[in-house]
Structure 1
Amino acid sequence: MGHKTRRAFLKVSGAALGGIAVGTNVVAAESRERFIVDAKSVKHTDGVEVVHRLDPVNLLVVRGSEKEVKKLGGKYAPDLVYTLDTPVEPTQESATDEPYYEPFQWDKQDQQIPEVHEITRGEGTRVSIIDSGILETHEDLTGPLNTELSRNFTNDGEDFSPVGSDHGTHVAGIVAADDTNETGTVGSAPGTELVACRVFSGPSATFADILAAVVYSAEIGCDAANMSIGAYPVDRRKNGSFYGGVLNKTMAYARNQGMVVVVSAGNDSADLQHDNGEVLEVDTDGDGELEEVVLKGGHWISLPNEAANVMSIAATGPIGYKWGEPGLEAPPESPAFYTNYGTNAVDLAAPGGDADLEALDSEVPGSQQDLVFNTTFTGEDTDGDDIPEPPFVPSYGWKAGTSMAAPQVTAAAALVKSVNPDYNANQVMSTLRNTAEVPNGYDKAYYGAGYLDTLGAVQD
């Protein structure tokens, strides 16, 4: 299987947000006990437990029976549960005292991050990582992480630290890994302040907790928020319309508070612009087997990246970085095989990693180096559920996905804000778009305004 072979692993559900936090691949099932309620018409909350009160956007998240929720009087829809997944299996590398910038970080080299740091390292800014938590003991993240502001938005009773997945830790490193401690990796904006907003408990997160994290991030003055989270395909009809409206309202509030929200476009190899008749390989019944499904009707959407007031980010990556013969088969700005695309559905493209799947599956030496390398952790799986358990040991590893592309742009937003502290969210986003260009010879549908130019953005 060649590296551009389509790998669309989706599930479509009836009410249906199908999606993930590492791109978009896994069904989001409806909750039967938690609901998102439009609070404008609600006169009381008798009979239900209020989980989140999102006053700035007139929403309530409640726990209770649907019978009791109906009595509240407001429009509502079930909360949704997301599950983590990745388009490429990640690999680990043990932590050492040797810096990993030169041998592994093609993404930071391509974005000329050392030259960027001669202008700014992101000082004076704050970035929210809405994800699976950040390992506060990681040597490359202890400096930028604000543990007092970091929060857990789930109901698992723990703090903001990871419960299983190192996805958020990897995303955080892409944004702000310490570049001054002579160990590990380099982040694009190591001078920014990170806030961990954990919405995943193990492999699962809920739509409502994600909304609550966005509102909180805006309230505490974050300049940018990274959401490597997605759902596709979403039916615009029925509850899909409600979820879309709720997202638009929440993201408009974030923008008006000055926060740029950056979202991964998804890992389905899907044309989001022309998905009427899109052929997907889908696990329709949850048995693990893929069936061919054709999307019909032209009423599908990807969320939250196609919501208003967000930046939707596609992924690029090289093939053959420091391992291929006779050299690079594809440059860093070439579209990744898995990335979603669509001219009006993508704002920018950024380094997210690519893969020659035959080489990777065959464990060809160095083939993992086309993925994105940054902060991770390891832990023992004592019960066989494939979820690492504490104590976690800081490490470094490769991952790929639009989840890795989004934080490149989130960091760039912080850098732009750092050199232009009076800019509002629209001005920061405009700078990122205006300094990006579509690479020669490539389809604009994969890039929107173009390929991220971090150095150009801070020089603009």
Structure 2
Amino acid sequence: MYEHSRRTVLKTGAALVGGVAAGTTVTTAESRGRYVVDTASVGDEQGIDVVHRLDQVGLSVVRASERDVKRLDERYAADVVFSRTRPTRGGAMSATAGARDEPLYSLQWDKHDQHVPEVHEHTRGEGARVAIIDTGVAAGHPDLRHAVDAERSRNFTEDSLGAPGPYGGYHGTHVAGIVAANDRNERGVVGSAPGAEIVDCRVFSETAPQETLSAFFGDVLAAIVYSADVGADVANLSLGAYFTREGLGSFWGKALNRTTTYANRRGTLLVHAAGNVSVDLQHDKGFVDSSESAQGLGVSATGPVGFGWGEDGLEEPYHSPAFYTNYGTNAVDLGAPGGNASEAVLSMKPENRPENWRRDFVLNCLAVPSFGESGEYQGASYEYGYLAGTSMAAPQVTAAAALVASANPRYDANQVESTLTRAAAVPEGYEKAYYGSGYLDPLEAVTE
């Protein structure tokens, strides 16, 4: 049994490794001068600049003084800025038919565990459309050129860099690679649903080197609505953001429910990362997680300890809950591979850790952007590297949803979700709080 007492010990390890293993640390704050208003009827009122008019869900995102917003005589809340530390890359590598022919496939324990080559005998995700709501997807990456729909991709930030592209950092490209990295170019890695189409919905902006990335929740709402409107079968939100119930909780809960319900009715399944701070989301009433909405799947992270770096084999199996993952029966719907780390390794000084200890993370595509001193984009380097977090677990589920949608093109969002949860099971000897319906099983889902 994966005991809570052990999780308490591992919280110390989380502090040691920080963003390397857990992917991100998220903080939130109200934004001055930017508001979400409970109406779609905001016109060209003096002093109000409409950033997003979301007629479909009766909301508007505006820039204005609070005094001018009050004159609208509508419910409103300050837009929420959520900032996260950038996950430290766990080492990059270069590389040059089927999934097993990809040079780095042998290091992708997540794809081994999900029997991806066998899944592809039934479907590769052809015909499915996936929205990646994140830092941007590098359409030029050799393993993603085949998949990214540049025409439908959109920039929801207020910068001028456009989409698709890794303009907010490398996180979104890694997420997209987990879903759709090419399995037939005999180069790099493989994604679970390489036949699926990727739509880049960028909500993070990075115009100069910095330790944190920031986004507005109003932009996320707009990206969800857009994903539904362009017919995405599934939208991935590896955001890991949450905010206090006090003050903003009521307004934002209703705004999220309205927006996610709209997406569901349009046939778009939403998949959310549960977060990376070892919080029991079921019993910690002080927070509302971004996965805690009326619709969608919340995903916790699992991972091995000892994959490819220890002579004694695995200390913990692929389906073992990651030390950092948030959990809670009512908040987590599925567990999926996100990467893990050993308590003993985390306690070591970096120079003393085993050479290949990061192999317990998830290996996939990276596109690392560079910017000039004045913030101008100078291009990106295309690599492969390791990251870990519920951010990496969510796209495993997103990819599985694309596979199910491909195999069953008449399914709506609820039917895709039901197929995934029916196919899953809680591993023997582990607590349901870490898995919800169970551990992701794409092969069972496409063959049931």
Once residues 148 and 220 of structure 2 are traced to their aligned partners in structure 1, the CA distance between those partners, rounded to angstroms, is 20
Question: Could you tell me which of 79, 93, 117 is aligned with 1:114?
Answer: 117
**Aligned positions of 1:313-392 closer than 5 A:** 313-356=299-342, 358-359=344-345, 361=350, 362-379=352-369, 390-392=378-380
Check whether the contact 1:9–1:26 (CA below 8 A) recurs between aligned residues: no
Alpha carbons of 1:381 and 1:157: their partners in 2 closer, same or farther (altered >3 Å)?
closer
**Helix, strand or coil for the counterpart of 1:39?**
coil
1:396 equivalenced with 2:410 (yes/no): no
2:188 is aligned to 184
Partner Cα separation in structure 1 for residue 396 and residue 45 of structure 2: 42
Are the equivalent residues in 2 in contact too, given 1:130–1:227 (CA < 8 A)? yes
Pairing partner for 2:222 from 200, 212, 215:
212
| Residue aligning to 1:94 | 93
How far 1:46 moved relative to its partner? Answer: 3.7
Aligned equivalents of 2:259, 2:13: Cα separation in 1? 29
Residue 157 of structure 1 aligns to a residue whose secondary structure is coil
- Give yes or no for the alignment of 1:265 onto 2:253: no
Report the Cα offset of residue 204 of structure 1. Answer: 1.4
What is the letter of the counterpart of residue 193 of structure 1? E
Q: What CA distance in whole angstroms lies between the structure 1 residues aligned with 2:13 and 2:64?
A: 36
**Paired letter, 1:94:** M
SS in 1 for 2:378: strand
The residue number in structure 2 matching 1:19 is none
1:141 and 2:131 matched: no
Q: By how many angstroms is 1:90 displaced?
A: 2.2
Counting only pairs closer than 5 Å after superposition, residues 20-419 of structure 1 correspond to structure 2 as 25-39=25-39, 45-85=45-85, 89-97=88-96, 99-160=102-163, 161-202=165-206, 203-232=213-242, 234-275=243-284, 298=285, 300-356=286-342, 358-359=344-345, 361=350, 362-379=352-369, 390-419=378-407
Amino acid in the other structure paired with 1:339:
T
- Asked if the contact 2:240–2:391 (Cα under 8 Å) also holds between the matched residues in 1, the reply is no
Residues 43/398 of structure 1: CA separation in 2 closer, same or farther (3 Å cut): closer
Relative to structure 1, the CA distance from residue 82 to residue 237 in structure 2 (aligned partners, 3 Å threshold; closer, same or farther) is: closer
Q: Using the alignment, how far apart are the partners of 1:435 and 1:7 within structure 2?
A: 34
Does the 8 Å contact 1:90/1:400 carry over to 2?
no
Q: Structure 1 residue 24: deviation in Å?
A: 6.2
Q: CA deviation at 1:111?
A: 0.2
Query: Does the 8 A contact of 2:132 with 2:235 survive in 1?
Result: yes
Q: Deviations over 1:148-202 (max 9, x none)?
A: 1001000111112122510000000000000000000000000000000000002
Q: Cα deviation per residue 1:107-138 (whole Å; 9 max; x = unaligned)?
A: 00000000000000001110000000011110
Give the match for residue 282 of structure 1: none
Q: 1:40 to 1:157 in 2, by over 3 A?
A: closer
The alpha-carbon deviation at position 40 of structure 1 amounts to: 6.2
- Which deviates more, 445-454 or 362-371? 362-371
SS in 2 for 1:230: coil
Partner of residue 209, structure 2 = none
Is the 1:38–1:59 Cα contact (8 Å) retained in structure 2? yes
TM-score, with length taken from structure 2: 0.89
Shift of 1:43: 7.7
- In 2, the alpha carbon distance for the partners of 1:363 and 1:390 equals 35
CA-to-aligned-CA distance 1:50-104 (integer Å, 9 cap, x gap): 1100000000001010000000111000111122336x63223232218344431
SS in 1 for 2:10: coil
Q: Does structure 2 retain, via aligned residues, the 8 Å contact 1:230–1:302? A: no
What SS is found at the alignment partner of 2:314?
coil
Paired position in structure 2 for 1:17: none
CA distance in 1: counterparts of 2:359 and 2:409, whole angstroms: 36
Letter in 1 for 2:414: N
1:363 deviates by 3.6
Q: 1:348-369: CA deviations, max 9, x gaps?
A: 0000000125536334111010
Distance 1:227 1:312 in 2: 10
Size of the alignment, in residue pairs? Answer: 421
Shift in Å, 1:301: 3.0
Letter in 2 for 1:249: R
The range that moved more, 111-120 or 90-99, is 90-99
Name the counterpart of 1:453: 441
Equivalent pair of 1:176/1:411 in contact (CA under 8 Å): yes
Greater Cα offset, 75-84 or 183-192: 75-84
C-alpha separation in 2, matches of 1:377 and 1:388: 17
Tell me: CA distance 1:269–1:357, structure 2 relative to 1, closer, same or farther (3 Å): same
The CA distance in 1 between the partners of 2:40 and 2:24, in whole Å, is 32
1:371–1:220 distance in 2 versus 1, CA, 3 Å: same
Distance of 1:214 and 1:381 partners within structure 2: 28
Q: Distance in 2 between matches of 1:100 and 1:263?
A: 30
**Greater helix percent: which structure?**
2
Residue range with higher mean Cα deviation, 354-363 or 184-193? 354-363
- Counterparts of 1:320 and 1:381 in 2: how far apart (Å)? 37
Query: How far apart are residue 344 of structure 1 and its match?
Result: 0.8
Q: For each residue in 1:316-361, what CA deviation from the matched residue of structure 2 results, as whole angstroms up to 9, or x when unmatched?
A: 0000001124110000000000000001110000000001255363
SS in 1 for 2:85: coil
Q: CA offset at residue 23 of structure 1?
A: 6.5
CA shift for structure 1 position 244: 1.0
Q: Secondary structure at the match of 1:437?
A: coil
